[in-house]
Structure 1
Amino acid sequence: MSTMDESTHRDLTEQYGQSHLFDFWEDLNHNEKAILLRSISEVKFPEMKRLIESLVITEPPAEYYDEIKPVDLVAPKDRRAREAGDAGEALIRAGKVACFTVAGGQGTRLGFDGPKGSYPIGALTGHSLFQYHAEKIRGLQRYYGTVLPWYIMVSPANGDATRAFFKQQNYFALDPANILFFEQQMIPCVNEKGKMMLETPFRLAVSPGGHGGSVQALVEKGILADAASRGVEILSYFQVDNWAVQAADPLFIGHHALQQSDMSSKCHRRNSPREAVGVHCLCDQVYRVIEYSELDIYPQLLQVDASGDAVFSAGNSGIHLLNVSFVQDIYDHFEDFPWHKAFKKIPCIREDGTLFSPDAPNGYKFETFIFDALRFARNPLALEIQRLGEYTPIKDYDGVNSVVAARQSMTDYWSGWMKGAGIAIPEQSGSNAAWQLEISPAWAVNREEFAERAQTLPKSFDKSTAILADGTILSK
């Protein structure tokens, strides 16, 4: 560490009104000083200045629109379904598609110590969320004779553990050269006066920049360049905690391509006007997603029809397709991308150097949402999906959107495959309510392939059953 490093960083903090970050400099040892300088060097000061001035120093007004309309949802079996499916399969075979998973979270709310993606969601197999997604990719690569690169965005909190988990699991039989990890951007937290906060005397208090920050990370970490070098044109985006998501859906990809869309989304129908998901809609003819926390600002989004169903029915599933070229365009104009603030309780260092653990919100965190990119997209498309077999996010251990619900959805979904193939299984009631079923997506990528392969299976099952990637049957 040189005197010039210190001088340069001091000048930078003074230029942007953040010189207090050096208040404890004389009390730090050599290593702590190096950590502080590195922490400061990672800050995008011009961007932070803009956020502080536009979101903290001044209170931005809510956006209001003259007209808000529901988006048109494309039905899964619309008139172009066959054409779309064929187009999507052709793009996958040609190596034009890569998978992109957001996996920066920890399993704390599930009672699990480790990256959320390593949580053992398989009730019978103990297979992790990562393994389920990996086996989907393995199955697709086998089925279409192609390679699907897998880009995984982690966080500083779980990045090392995630990489170690993949290595321990031998990358789930995938080629590690086709799996690239990269870290999401961390954003400094600020107090009510717009001053950056210190977590320790030598480390800034930071928080994840949100899924929208993946745009910056994809470019700045070299992931977009890697995709382009492989000939990839479309990124299939999904969140790690949705076990049911299709890693690369030919029908969705085909509709996206036929529509000549920059960005497309899968939407499930909201189960109530107050469901805690974003709402896809057209605001003054511009595609937007209104976050559920803002529903009361736009009361029309709470309307119901004669049947009591939400008029604005398109719920955000966090499943998207993004063109590689579109991601680069968004990055090149990221100063136009909307940021959001959240007033939170943020532990920090007081002026006297002691730790302060607040009982009430005391500072702001900043984040961006990937769905906000839709407002900049040409020809955005929304494909309607059923929740079962597509959207089962895991936020808690029990209740709605939980581990328990996800495991039940596995059994419900694959039971349909079994019955469709003429295989007898226990009814889900009474003493059989605990009967469970898992089918590896590496063994059967879809219902049609399962029906073909099921000819080698027994004609009935009376025990909880898992069919593994190699076709081995595990019964308990």
Structure 2
Amino acid sequence: MGPPEELRARLARCGQSHLLRFWAELGPAQRGALLAALPPGLDEHCRLAAAAGARQRGPPERLDGRMEPLPARLLGSVRRSDPAALERWEAEGLHQISQNKVAVLLLAGGQGTRLGVSYPKGMYNVGLPSGKTLYQIQAERIRKVEQLAGQRHHCKCTIPWYIMTSEFTLGPTEEFFVEHDYFNLDRSNVVMFEQRMLPAVTFDGKAILEEKGKIAMAPDGNGGLYCALVDNKILDDMKQRGIQKYEPQLRHHVAIKKVPYIDEEGNLVKPLKPNGIKLEKFVFDVFQFSKNFVAFEVVREEEFSPLKNADTADKDTPTTARQALLAQHYRWALKAGARFLDENGCRIPEKLSLSGTEDAPAVCEISPLVSYFGEGLEVYMKNKDFPSPFVLDENKAKLLGNS
């Protein structure tokens, strides 16, 4: 029995007749699964893939004419801001958290393939002295900022944590959180959901068969977030919890953080706003449609160290991520008045100027449960000597605070 004529004609129109090549060898269940995997927009998806492939094979396209500098009025900077203004914004953020109006949304659909592991990247351990994974660090930061907001406003507050996974990472991520008792977060406040999957295609725009009756699928890019929020009723959940998508007093519908970007020749690249079409969807594609948009430049060494590659690469590796975090914690400790000793009990010379890609003179890791961004460390560390390496966790903080 051949495939339905309507299906055959539809696939022929969009150049995908090869998907029916093994139809006669498939059982009823396999045929049903193949039909279910054909998305309504297959024609458009494959057409865009073919167009992207043609551009890839052609001469390099210069995008200068399709990019515009971000207006100065839309670009702020932590370095150029008045300290009093920074304090006001921090206070407003903690106030919003205390009102249960803030949520954390994490995009966690990627596997650690480039890191050399088969499990989700959030389960990865970059080699910190504590052995904490990326998921644990994030969970503890959420717990700490809940605590900071609650203490300031004398209340108990909650930050829901929404985690967008993919078909490949949902199961392992759920199991990992269960195994670690959700890192002491309330399970009802950790909401996992899947992003959409799209057919994997060749540069000629042909959908790929993974098996005779199965189309190869891939996550639809981080820009698939918006559809996934609707598909999984996450927006409804946010509304029910009282999460605010826009606060009038903040005046902006979208506010993003950015770090200074230096190209391979050492030149500072100014932020641009895109003006064109891409095949893959990105989170920032929708920013141009925002009524009020602002970018705020932060200090790279304090807030950003990407983890993309295995340690065999030159940058964005577990080593550079670990170095950046430990260097930050070392600076926090010195600012709080700590002193570090080597294995012979001799004072280690202080060095405050660190690039974030080099080892600090002393190894000091500070748990997010003790300090969110370097605050409040004086009570534990001022005028005290510590060995290297040293991990300041909750238990040690209690001992030091009472000493």
Deviations 1:16-52 (A, max 9, x none): 5534322211112344334323322x45336526635
2:251 match: secondary structure: coil
Matches within 5 A, 1:108-257: 108-145=113-150, 146-234=157-245
Distance 1:43 1:471 in 2: 57
Residue pair 2:364, 2:388 contacting (<8 A) in 1 also: no
The aligned counterpart of 2:365 is 438
Aligned length: 369
The aligned counterpart of 2:78 is 76
Residue pair 1:166, 1:172 contacting (<8 A) in 2 also: yes
TM-score with structure 2 setting the length? 0.79
Residue pair 2:127, 2:318 contacting (<8 A) in 1 also: no
Distance 1:66 1:34 in 2: 44
Which has more strand, going by share of residues? 1
Counterpart amino acid of residue 118 in structure 1: M
Q: Which moved more, 1:26-35 or 1:371-380?
A: 26-35
Distance 1:70 1:106 in 2: 33
Distance 1:111 1:428 in 2: 37
Distance 2:380 2:328 in 1: 17
1:219 match: secondary structure: helix
Counterpart amino acid of residue 364 in structure 2: L
Counterpart amino acid of residue 22 in structure 1: L
Matches within 5 A, 1:249-268: 258-268=249-259
Structure 2: unaligned runs, 5 residues or longer: 151-156, 342-347, 351-358
Matched, 1:387 2:300: yes
2:225 match: secondary structure: helix
Counterpart amino acid of residue 187 in structure 1: L
Distance 2:181 2:28 in 1: 39
Deviations 1:332-382 (A, max 9, x none): xxxxxx6524xxxxxxxxxxxxxxxxxxxxxxxxx1111222211122111
1:224–1:208 distance in 2 versus 1, CA, 3 Å: same
Deviations 1:379-435 (A, max 9, x none): 211111111220011112333211111111122111111111111024479xx9684
- The Cα RMSD (Å) is 3.5
1:161–1:233 distance in 2 versus 1, CA, 3 Å: same
1:71 Cα offset (Å): 4.3
Matches within 5 A, 1:48-59: 48=45, 51=48, 55=52
Q: 2:390 aligns with which of 452, 456, 465?
A: 465
The aligned counterpart of 2:24 is 26
1:229 Cα offset (Å): 1.3
Q: Which moved more, 1:126-135 or 1:262-271?
A: 262-271
Residue pair 1:56, 1:194 contacting (<8 A) in 2 also: yes
1:422 match: secondary structure: coil
1:151 match: secondary structure: strand
1:115–1:17 distance in 2 versus 1, CA, 3 Å: same
Matched, 1:340 2:278: yes
Deviations 1:125-160 (A, max 9, x none): 111000000000011112213111111111222221
The aligned counterpart of 2:315 is 400
Distance 1:277 1:133 in 2: 30
Deviations 1:277-322 (A, max 9, x none): 99622xxxxxx158xxxxxxxxxxxxxxxxxxxxxxxxxxxxxxxx
Counterpart amino acid of residue 226 in structure 2: V
Q: 1:44 aligns with which of 38, 41, 46?
A: 41
Percent identical pairs in the alignment equals 29
Distance 1:116 1:35 in 2: 29
Distance 1:224 1:216 in 2: 10
1:115 Cα offset (Å): 1.0
Q: Which moved more, 1:48-57 or 1:152-161?
A: 48-57
Distance 1:160 1:186 in 2: 16
1:447 match: secondary structure: coil
Residue pair 2:107, 2:164 contacting (<8 A) in 1 also: yes
Distance 2:232 2:266 in 1: 35
The aligned counterpart of 2:335 is 420
Distance 1:22 1:278 in 2: 48
Counterpart amino acid of residue 373 in structure 1: V
TM-score with structure 1 setting the length? 0.68
